[in-house]
Amino acid sequence: MVRQLRLEEVTSALEASLSVSDLELIAQGGQKYVFGCNLEGAPAVAKVVLLPLGPDSVYVLERAQREVEVLAAIDSPRVVRVLSEVVELDFAEGIRAATWVEDRLDGQDMRDDLEKPWNYDRAARLIVQLGEALSAFHDLEVVHRDLSPANVRELSDGSFVLMDPGLARHLAKSALTGVFQPGTAVHRSPEHIPGGDVQPVSDIFALGILAYRALTGVLPIDPSGSEDDYYRRLRDYDSRPIEASCSDIPAPLRDVINRCLKRQPARRYLDGLELIEELEKHGEIFGPYFMDA
C-alpha cells in the first residue's frame, strides 16, 4: 500500500522545484492537489498530480505534460495561462508526482452556480467568451474534450475563462479513434460515445450543453438511467429545443444554442472559429462580450 504524503512534504518540494512561496492548499481530490501560491510576487496556483505506481504513471505524466504544452501554446485571455513547465517530483518510498504553475484566477467555477437559471445576457457572455476560448484551441487543431462546469471559471470582472485541458488532444498527433473517451458524464457529445472520434465540433456540443443548463437548470439530454441508455439518447435523439424551456429567449441566442446541440456534427458550428463568425453577425446580443468590444 502506498503511504499518504504529508502536506509539508509536498509544499517543500514545490518551494524547492518551482520557486513558489506562500503555499496554501485550495483543493484536494483524488490524486490531485491545488495550492494557492506566489510566483515572483504574483498570485498563482501550483497543481500537483500524483503518479500512480506501475505503467499507468507514464499515461498520467503524459497527460499533465499535454495539458501544460497546450496551455503554453495558447495565448488568449479566455484560457488560463500556464507559468511553468511540468516538473517531476520524487518523494521517499518511490512516490512520484508531476507539478506545474498556472495563473491564479479569482471568481468561481460553474459548478457552484447552476442552481438558478441565468439571465440571457450572462448566457450570451458565456457563449461568446467560451467560443473565443475554443477558437484559440481549435486554431491550433487541439480539442479540449472536457468542457464541463468544473473547467469553466467566471472571474470577478464577469469574464469567463476555460481551464484544465488535461484531456485535450492534438488532432495531428494522435490516433483517430479509441475505445476510451474522456469527458465529464452528462457533458459529453455524441462523438464521446466509445468508438467515436472527438473533434472540435464535439467541444461545440459541450458548450451547447453548458449554455442550455445555465439557462434552464436542466440538461438537454435526459441523463437518467444507465450509461448505455444515456448514450443511446445522445446518439439517436435531438436535444429538446431551448425555447421549450425559455419561451422568450432572443432568437439569435436560441438559434445558436440549438445549433450547438445538433445531433449531427456537420449541422453544428464546426469549431470555435465558425461559432464566433456566427456570433459576430448578431452584435445586438453578443457584441458587448467580445474581447475587442
Partner 1 sequence: MAVLIQDGRRSGHLKWTREAIQRRCADGAVISAFCTPRIPRPRQRDAGAVVEALGTAEVLFDPMTHARLLSGTNKLEDYDTWSLWGNSGVGLDTTARRLEHVERVFSRQSELGLPRLAPTLALASARSSDADHAVETARVARGLDRHCYQSLVGTVEFFASGTDLDAHVGRLAGLRASTWVLTLVPASSPNLIADLATSTVALTGWLRTIHSLSVRSRVIVQNADFLGLLASAAGADTVGSGWDRSMKVFDASSYQLATPAPRRPASYVTQRGLVAILRRSIADDIQRLDAARAQELRGGPMPSDDAHQRVHHLRVIRDLVSDIYRMRGQEESVSVLRAIYHNALDNYAWLDSQVPGLVSASERDAWVNYPLLTLEQYAKAEGIW
**Minimum distance between the CB of residue 202 and partner 1, rounded to whole angstroms?**
9
Minimal distance in Å, beta carbon 138 to partner 1?
10
CB of 244: closest distance to partner 1 in angstroms? 15
Torsion sign, CA atoms 171, 231, 251, 286? negative
Task: Evaluate whether 39 touches 101 at the Cβ level (below 8 Å).
Answer: yes
Q: How far is the CB of 287 from partner 1 (least distance, A)?
A: 24
Distance in Å, CB of 87 to partner 1, minimum: 35
Binding mask 228-267 for partner 1 (x = CB under 8 A): -------xx--------------------------xxxxx
In the chain, what's the furthest Cα-to-Cα distance?
A: 61
Distance linking the first and last C-alpha atoms of the chain: 55
User: Of 156-185, which residues contact partner 1 (CB under 8 A)?
Assistant: 176-177
Which CB sits closer to partner 1, 4 or 264? 264
Is the Cβ of residue 84 or residue 202 nearer to partner 1 in the bound state?
202
Cell numbers given for 197: 472520434
Binder of partner 1 out of 11, 159, 199, 216 (CB under 8 A): 199
- Complex with partner 1: residue 133 or 234, whichever CB lies closer: 234
**Residue 64 one-letter amino acid:** A
Contacts of 17 (CB under 8 A, 6+ apart): 87, 89, 99
Residue 7 to residue 28: CA distance in whole angstroms: 11
Say which residue the cell 498530480 belongs to.
Answer: 49
Nearest-approach distance from CB 274 to partner 1, in angstroms: 9
Nearest distance from residue 175's CB to partner 1, in Å?
9
Q: Which of 183, 200, 220, 272 binds partner 1 (CB under 8 A)?
A: 200
Binding flags for partner 1, 262-291, as an x/- string (CB under 8 A):
-xxxxx--xx--------------------
Separation of alpha carbons 133 and 293, rounded Å: 16
Q: By CB under 8 A, name the one of 102, 109, 164, 191 that touches partner 1.
A: 191
The grid coordinates of residue 116 equal 438558478
Q: Which is nearer to partner 1, 32 or 263 (CB)?
A: 263
Q: Is 73 in the site for partner 1 (CB under 8 A)?
A: no
Candidates 139, 197, 222, 278: give the one binding partner 1 (CB under 8 A): 197
The span of 38-46, 110-118, 155-163, 198-206 binding partner 1 (CB under 8 A) equals 198-206
| Closest C-alpha to 103, from 12, 183, 168, 20 | 20
Q: Count residues near partner 1 (CB under 8 A).
A: 19
Cα–Cα distance between 70 and 120 in angstroms, integer? 31
Q: What are phi and psi of 46, to 5 degrees?
A: -105, 130
Question: Burial level of 290, CB count in 10 A (0-12/13-18/19+)?
Answer: middle
For 46, the 3-state DSSP assignment is strand
**CA dist., res. 198 & res. 204, Å (int):** 11
Choosing from 10, 37, 70, 201, the residue that interacts with partner 1 (CB under 8 A) is 201
Q: Report DSSP state, residue 220.
A: S
What cell does 164 get? Answer: 484544465
What's the closest the beta carbon of residue 268 comes to partner 1, in angstroms?
A: 8
Where does this chain bind partner 1 (CB under 8 A)?
176-177, 190-191, 195-197, 199-201, 235-236, 263-267, 270-271
